[in-house]
Amino acid sequence: MTKPVVLIAEELSPATIEALGPDFDVRSVDGTDRPALLAALADAHAVLVRSATKIDAEALAAAPSLKVVARAGVGLDNVDIKAATAAGVMVVNAPTSNIVSAAELTIGHILSLARHIPAAHASLAAGQWKRSAFTGTELFEKTVGIVGLGRIGALIAARLQAFDMRVVAYDPYVTATRAQQLGVTLLSLDDLLAQVDFLTIHMPKTPETTGMIGIDQLRRMKRTAFVVNVARGGLIDEDALYKALTTGEIAGAGLDVFSTEPPAEGGPARRLLDLPNVVVTPHLGASTEEAQEKAGVSVARSVKLALEGDLVPDAVNVAGGVIDPFVRPGIGLVEKLGQFFSGLAPSALTSLDIEVRGELAAYDVSVYKLAALKGIFSRIVSETVSYVNAPLFAEQRGVETRLIVEAESPLYRNITILRGTLADGSVLTVAGTLAGTRMVPKVVEIDGYDIEVPLEQHHVVMRYADRPGIVAIYGQKLGDADINIAGLQVAPDDAGRALSVLTVDSRVPDALLAEMRDAVGADLFRQIEITED
């Protein structure tokens, strides 16, 4: 019998090959040599890559037998997940392979900044002996602020507590109970910035978090404070950071990631490299022998599982198990509902009910629970979220989840309802369905307001006192900004309020959102971005 072909497109550890075992025809190719890659993919059943090999629609089209693409690492920027899904190809990665390495690099940057280690080394290596020039500061009894208290943030908290540091955190999706378990005090972002001696950021990069640390945030910090980013380039506004570092608004920065990598000549990141109060590394968060070996072994095991037809825990785009064709179309709907839900939630989630009603009650819809959690946590944590690790994120945060299945559905053939209790005591409900023969995913209810809005990429949701002229107000402001309203629905309630859900063609700038909110007097105002893998 012919063995399945596993193509290794980049250099991986010997342990990776060992983990595949003897049941595969393992071949190698230089993934950066495009013609060679396309030729080698012709009879490949699986391909293993790191960051240099691009698996796009062209590569997938050249691989008619391909079943799985495995990225030996966390990021998936070089894999076209949407095209892979359309081709029926599973994409897997190693989402936990680098968390210890990233946490330890963060500690290294903090110590380097506190004790001026790189600058002192360079000075001494140049033949100078300037001890007084490199007087540092102790970590003992200082305050460190962690923005994003996911798995990496939790590891950092534990390690810095060993230095007898006070650890505070900002994470709107973490409950006070979870923070207490970690020995961390939750604060608002403004309060945290004002108190910390060291700030480290561990958030996912989304439209909402890009530039989240800008000039206003840096000005709130102590002039003696340091900021560290080993998570994602662009979370800190690099122009604002340069200004803060050169005017003395903060003391220094440690950076492993940049908005453009490598930093381009003349770009905002490039200027930072020349500053004496900046410690930089070339995106080394996962660059340890242990992390690379963990990543390779992890994806090799996933490839074996995929080619043997078993459940793959780290599948990014395919839910495990046998899924009925009648159930499968709703997976994407529920995942988008999860994103919509997290975009509306004003505080951390404490419990979640996933209600599936209608004809789907006759089928196994357990995958919808996984899809809902994946959608919710993909907008919350910095790590890659899969259908299998999403429940682990919920468990870590103390979120109780239930799947409720009922045949009764008076208004829709099928409807899925996400009903969550939040840390502030409120309850948030979002419902959706697939509409018509084209099975268009739509939101059909938000907190009791009946609407019917297709789930698109850009939405603005607002609630306000219902009165004439409101649509004209925000319509005029968006028009003046050359932002097109592609869809709009207004739903009034019996208390004299109305909910407006807008679909717009592009993201609305934050300043304009603030203008719109003030102009209409909204008590609920959210911009929601829906992304697709």
Evaluate whether 47 touches 41 at the Cβ level (below 8 Å). yes
What does the DSSP 8-state code read for residue 4? P
Residue type present at position 100: V
Dist. CA 223–CA 322, nearest whole Å: 57
Of the candidates 50, 151, 283, 379, the residue annotated as catalytic is 283
- Nearest residue to 34 (alpha-carbon basis) of 12, 14, 52: 52
Dist. CA 119–CA 473, nearest whole Å: 55
Evaluate whether 370 touches 391 at the Cβ level (below 8 Å). yes
What does the DSSP 8-state code read for residue 234? T
CA 353 to chain centre: 23
Dist. CA 70–CA 300, nearest whole Å: 8
Q: Determine phi and psi for 168, rounding to 5 degrees.
A: -120, 160
Dist. CA 353–CA 348, nearest whole Å: 15
Catalytic annotation on 497? no
Q: Please provide the DSSP assignment of 124-173 as one string.
A: HHTT---SGGG-----TT-EEEEE--SHHHHHHHHHHHTTT-EEEEE-TT
Dist. CA 465–CA 317, nearest whole Å: 42
What does the DSSP 8-state code read for residue 79? B
- Nearest residue to 181 (alpha-carbon basis) of 194, 201, 167, 195: 167
Catalytic annotation on 290? no
Number of H helices, E strands in the chain: 18, 22
Evaluate whether 43 touches 18 at the Cβ level (below 8 Å). no
Dist. CA 468–CA 2, nearest whole Å: 72
3-state secondary structure of 287: coil
Distances (CA, A) of 442 to 336, 375, 445: 9, 15, 9
Of the candidates 232, 458, 517, 526, the residue annotated as catalytic is 232
SS (H, E, C) 506-519: CCCCHHHHHHHHHH
Of the candidates 18, 261, 400, 532, the residue annotated as catalytic is 261
Q: In this structure, is the dihedral angle defined by the CA atoms of residues 107, 111, 113 and 119, taken in order, positive or negative?
A: negative
- Beta-carbon contacts of residue 326 (< 8 Å; ≥ 6 apart): 359, 360, 363
Catalytic annotation on 383? no
Q: Please provide the DSSP assignment of 49-78 as one string.
A: E-SS--B-HHHHHT-TT--EEEESSS--TT
Residue corresponding to tokens 């800190």: 236
- Beta-carbon contacts of residue 57 (< 8 Å; ≥ 6 apart): 80, 83
Active site residues: 232, 261, 283
